[in-house]
Chain A
Amino acid sequence: MRPAKIPTEELMTSGHLACQGCGATQAMRFALKAMGPKTALVIPACCWSVIDGPFPHTSLKVPICHTLFEAAASTASGLKAGLEMRGDTETVVMAWAGDGGTFDIGIQALSGAAERNEDIMYCCYDNEAYMNTGIQRSSATPVGAWTTTTPVAHYKKRPKKKIIDIMAAHSIPYIATASVAYPQDLIEKFRRAREIKGTRFMHVLAPCPTGWKLAPELSVAMARLAVTSRVFPLIEVTDNGSTWKVWKDFEQTPVADYMKPQGRFRHLTDKEIDSIEEEVDRNWQIMLSRERLSADLPGLER
């Protein structure tokens, strides 16, 4: 057999209930390839609590503890403590939550766990709205987007919450963003995170054709354009929130190329898209300046 680009082991099976072209399932598939079977998931209310399948079925080959919408991080902390008490130090506990469950309702549990530096991984698969309940805006919904609670006449005016900044402020050992369009990078980051002790926060952009009003075949393309337009930079923050590394080795594409194929942005004028591009550029510059700044700092012993 010729060598495969990514591990061939499948811990997610066919038959799941996700929509056509769902980025959240790609994210799960890739993440589990990196994590391996010794992983326990904690999933709060979100699409993934449905995708997995109805009781008593599952489409994952690792155990899942379904929990309350707001409780992913605390349930994960408890699960980890329980496993440790039973002498299992091998299994990694990973909370797997949507953006609503992370940026909004779950943020206090997450903040608490991170502040205590609980030995858990926390992955937010970000489809930029409350998709499971019918596309309501979350604080992860980007500026300009349509959702059912931000209709075209009142499209979202506030920018996406900067969750990475918030998590970096918690001085946790590892933070990374990833995109389903770059599976090798995603897998590498999850592998790296798996080996670290303490709270590791992963943020994966997961296009949602249904909620983004996007042709399903373009979901990976959008995940890629989000990165190349610098809307969703691929970064790693290490040394307890102090060292920033930004991936820059790509050919830059216009923000419009990312936004235009998505129906949720269809109402935006070119001028509005231009001003969004300016904002994107600003955020990018800030990211780069952090990287420059941290380059001069001595690294921390882990």
Chain B
Amino acid sequence: MGEKITFKSYKEMPINAMSIADMTWNLTGSWRNIRPYYDFKMSPCRLGCPAMEDIQRYIFLVTEKRYEEAWGAIIENNPMPAVTGRVCFHPCMDKCTRKDFDQAINIPAIERSLGDMGLENRDWMKKVDASKKEKVAVVGSGPAGLSCAFYLARMGYQVAMFESEKALGGILRWGIPEYRLPNDVVDRVISQILGSGPITVRAETTVGRDIGLDELEKEYDAIFLGLGLMKSRSLGIEGEKGKGIEPGLEFLKKVNSGETVSPGKRAVVVGGGNTAMDVARCARRTGSDVTVVYRRTMNEMPAIKDEIEEAEKEGVHFHFLAAPKEVVRSGGKLAKVVFQEMELGEPDESGRRRPVPVEGRTFELEVDTLFTAIGEQADLTGIEKKVECEWNMIKTTGEAGETSSARIFAGGDVVTGAASVVDAVAAGRKAAGKLDRIFTSADEPAVEEPKTVGIEEINTAYFHQTKRTLVPRIPVEEALKGYLEINSGFLPEQLEAEADRCFSCGVCNFCDNCWMYCPDVAIVRLEDSYEVNYDFCKGCLVCVVECPRGCISTREEGK
């Protein structure tokens, strides 16, 4: 820092009136009445993701072409980006700030690209060895179980997975068809997870039947139940059991196992959820004329919106406000189904308006196969003795899936009812985290309401309106020929373009603006950060306004 020079006599002055010292003795920080400070926020997309993926961070790393680190950033919260990148209902996008500017970032498409890279680059997943003495039994190998096993294994715990079926994956394998999630991807995701740490598998073992929870409790320090909902709910009408009527999930299981299916000329699917959509679309692929009959309207359909649109594109018909009433068979074969017309009444406990029959109004449809897809149920045989259940689901008492029985945790659909892959992933990870804290007697982390930013904090002068980059898809005619994956993923330049659209809400991406515009040269540019030099910052707050993404907050001096 330069010294201030005060001449005691003219003799000390230079011969010419020239400067001989700088101004850095003049600490202009004393002029400041408000101070800027770096204060990164949590991007809203992250708050929208049930798994709390650090979306801003991995997109930023993509813009820097640091793909391995980007993949690593996802894996911290979700071990299966190749799956969620394909099938997630992406609530993150609903929260994306960019939707208030032009269109939300195509987050799942970016996630999928990274997920696929992680499957290609096998060395990205570093194997962890057992380092802890505790052993955990994970029951069910759907996304909840896989996620719980993965995070426990990453922390060095020994995991034994139990699965009723011969192959792992739950709904990922048996429910979601290949045109959305190829079996090959499921296989590779699972083998990557299993290979990542000390995880052993006991397939074709149903806990509660083949082996009791009591036995597991003796052998393991804790149990996680990710049982999902694998039983189709029945319609509860006359003649339901018999030829021509098939539970949707059973049908999907056949399709996903490569069995030939032939629902006939006219198929009707009853229901409005994901199962209904997938059944309808699989049936379309056999050449059937398919109608989905749903007792409410399009607005109340629980299926993912994208799936409804896809089904429509593929020529699936929809018939709303109707429910099957009676089955008519002739010569042992299904001939007709009588439907009751419905109307929407008062809202029920789910907040959706309850469908009520319209007196005396019915219609008939000629049907070769009627698929039931009105929901799935858990099979809690042998489970409910040990943990408290309610409405045929496991009752949890805490955020991490604690149940009535200490050291037995549960998560995924068996707790929430039909939800989603990412919710199940989040549940598995939370339980793993909690178990670790129990095993290590660690304190619960302090929960703080995270600060976030919205469009008001974005300096939109730094962005241009663009359209979301859409993933290439095969045409409908091609799609209907078989089970080829419809969405073929971003090309490298599309990945780059879409990542570049991200505002990086509330988190610095080293754009240099604050440093560059400071009129007082009071921002120090470091390797991977910036610092305000309060000796000189006058508090003009230009940096705050010119930060395109709301990374800098302010505080009044002396308060």
Provide the residues of chain A in CB contact with B22, threshold 8 Å: 13, 15, 53, 57-59, 61
Provide the residues of chain B in CB contact with A183, threshold 8 Å: 516-517
Answer yes or no: A16 CB below 8 A from chain B CBs.
yes
Answer yes or no: A23 CB below 8 A from chain B CBs.
yes
Cβ-defined contact, A14 with B525, below 8 A: no
Answer yes or no: A74 CB below 8 A from chain B CBs.
no
Provide the residues of chain B in CB contact with A216, threshold 8 Å: 540-542
Answer yes or no: A271 CB below 8 A from chain B CBs.
no
A20 CA to B542 CA, complexed, in Å: 9
Answer yes or no: B304 CB below 8 A from chain A CBs.
no
Answer yes or no: A217 CB below 8 A from chain B CBs.
yes
- Which of A2, A14, A61, A209: most chain B Cβ within 10 A? A14
Answer yes or no: A25 CB below 8 A from chain B CBs.
yes
A89 CA to B5 CA, complexed, in Å: 33
A2 CA to B541 CA, complexed, in Å: 25
Q: Interface segment, A218-226, A239-247, A279-287?
A: A218-226
Provide the residues of chain B in CB contact with A57, threshold 8 Å: 2, 4-5, 19, 21-23, 25-26
Tell me whether chain B's interface is mostly helix, strand or loop, or mixed.
loop
Answer yes or no: A302 CB below 8 A from chain B CBs.
no
Closest to A225 in B: B461
Answer yes or no: B520 CB below 8 A from chain A CBs.
yes
The count of chain A contact residues (Cβ–Cβ below 8 Å) is: 42
Which of A6, A14, A29, A56 is in CB contact (< 8 Å) with B24?
A14
A219 CA to B546 CA, complexed, in Å: 10
Answer yes or no: B131 CB below 8 A from chain A CBs.
no
A1 CA to B516 CA, complexed, in Å: 16
Answer yes or no: A263 CB below 8 A from chain B CBs.
no
Answer yes or no: A195 CB below 8 A from chain B CBs.
no
Provide the residues of chain A in CB contact with B510, threshold 8 Å: 2
Provide the residues of chain B in CB contact with A224, threshold 8 Å: 461
A5 CA to B138 CA, complexed, in Å: 51
Provide the residues of chain A in CB contact with B522, threshold 8 Å: 14
Cβ-defined contact, A217 with B521, below 8 A: no
Answer yes or no: A21 CB below 8 A from chain B CBs.
yes
Residue ranges of A at the interface with B (Cβ–Cβ < 8 Å): 1-2, 4-6, 8, 10, 12-18, 20-23, 25-26, 29, 52-53, 55-59, 61, 64, 180, 183, 209, 216-221, 224, 228, 251
Q: A21-B541, A23-B519 are in contact. List 13 more A-B contacts (CB 8 A).
A: A2-B510, A13-B22, A15-B2, A20-B538, A21-B540, A29-B521, A53-B19, A56-B20, A58-B21, A59-B23, A216-B540, A220-B546, A251-B464
Residue ranges of B at the interface with A (Cβ–Cβ < 8 Å): 2, 4-5, 7, 13-14, 17-28, 31, 461, 464, 510-512, 515-517, 519-522, 525, 527-528, 533, 535-536, 538-542, 544-546
